[in-house]
Amino acid sequence: MTAPTEVLFDAPGPKARRNNVILSIVSALVLAGIVAFAVWKFADAGQLEAAKWYPFTFAQIQLVLLQGMLATLKVAVVAALLALVVGVVFALLRLSSRRIISLPGTIVLEFFRGVPVLLLIFAMFLIFGNTIGPFWSVVIGLTLYNGMVLAEIIRAGILAVPKGQKEAAMAIGLRSGQVMSLVLMPQALRAMMPTIIAQIVVLLKDSALGFIVTYQDLLYQVNLIGREYNNLLPTFLVGAVLFIIINMIVAGIARWLEKHLQRKTTAHVDAEGLSAKTVT
């Protein structure tokens, strides 16, 4: 995948290298200027006062943020596992050769894929919230949407396994269920793992919406601290940093899996191309 981008231009010569250095310095200066301007403006508006940041030095506030972070992770983990299950089920439904099975699968899939996840979570909460509570409202909302996206990813993965694999499996006498569960699905999942994890990062980000249905996640606590100490902006900044750290760790795991798992599959999937399939 690096090949085509490298042929887009010649190896830099001495002049280009000098230009690069100059450009780097100039852009570093511009960037520093922008940062300085922003800091100056925020300081001017009193957003950098010690009083606005002071609460974060207390163990109690850190604990609240940590609890929020754990709550967000909890909802994301449960929803991710369920979404995988839903994804496998709907991928199989859609791959079924019988229209009576594949058609309803497709309709349900298109419905939940076409609706904003915010609306799904909100609807779960308003319709079933009294019996299932905020936690499950968020989990089910996230599961329905991301499960459908994962179903499409897994389906693409199954279709990408070379035909010979299926034919060979059938030739040695496996039943179609066995072909799927022993041969095709494991390879598809492995091939698609980076894409699946990228979608899970999306799910993790969407789990930030839990606060609208009173689930006490990271953003709920961020709103709460910001309200109490009148430091909405600093608190959101802290919240964003925490989110970015979590997501980058998960994205790092995706890259690691990409490197280590793809050798074990025959499916020829251009991982770069497929990562575009994840849907925010």
Question: Does residue 16 touch other proteins according to CB under 8 A?
Answer: yes
Residue 10 or 171 with smaller CB distance to other proteins? 10
* Contact pick of 66, 82, 95, 174 for other proteins (by CB under 8 A): 66
Structure-derived torsion over alpha carbons of residues 206, 211, 214, 218, reported in degrees to the nearest 10 = 100
Nearest approach in angstroms of CB 74 to other proteins is 15
Nearest approach in angstroms of CB 72 to other proteins is 10
* Contact pick of 82, 95, 108, 232 for other proteins (by CB under 8 A): 232
Torsion sign across C-alpha atoms 265, 256, 240, 60: positive
* Contact pick of 208, 254, 267, 269 for other proteins (by CB under 8 A): 208
CA 130 to chain centre: 28
Q: Which residues contact 75 (CB under 8 A, 6 or more apart)?
A: 135, 138, 139, 142, 207, 210, 215, 217
Phi and psi at residue 177, to the nearest 5°: -65, -40
Question: Does residue 8 touch other proteins according to CB under 8 A?
Answer: yes
Nearest approach in angstroms of CB 252 to other proteins is 7
* Contact pick of 18, 29, 36, 41 for other proteins (by CB under 8 A): 41
Question: Is the separation of the CB atoms in 91 and 158 below 8 Å?
Answer: yes
Question: Does residue 35 touch other proteins according to CB under 8 A?
Answer: no
DSSP H or E segment with residue 80:
helix 59-95
Binders of other proteins in range 134-193 (CB under 8 A): none
Listed ranges 79-87, 91-99, 161-169, 219-227: which one lies at the site for other proteins (CB under 8 A):
219-227
**Residue 40 three-state SS:** helix
Question: Does residue 63 touch other proteins according to CB under 8 A?
Answer: yes
Cα Rg of the chain (Å, integer): 24
* Contact pick of 85, 164, 175, 270 for other proteins (by CB under 8 A): 270
- Categorise residue 275: left if φ over 0, alpha if ψ from -120 to 50, beta otherwise: alpha
Residue 34 or 168 with smaller CB distance to other proteins? 34
For residue 144, which amino acid is it?
L
Question: Does residue 201 touch other proteins according to CB under 8 A?
Answer: yes
* Contact pick of 252, 264, 266, 268 for other proteins (by CB under 8 A): 252
Name the one residue in this structure whose structure tokens are 């001017």. Answer: 44
Question: Is the separation of the CB atoms in 266 and 260 below 8 Å?
Answer: no
Report the distance separating Cα 85 and Cα 80, nearest Å: 9
Total number of residues binding other proteins (CB under 8 A)? 92
Report the distance separating Cα 136 and Cα 20, nearest Å: 53
Residue 185 or 271 with smaller CB distance to other proteins? 271
Write out the two tokens for 164. 């010979």
Residue 180 or 208 with smaller CB distance to other proteins? 208
* Contact pick of 225, 254, 267, 269 for other proteins (by CB under 8 A): 225
Question: Does residue 194 touch other proteins according to CB under 8 A?
Answer: no
Lay out the site mask for other proteins across 95-134 (x = CB under 8 A, - = otherwise): ---------------xx-xxxxxxx--xx-xxx-xxx---
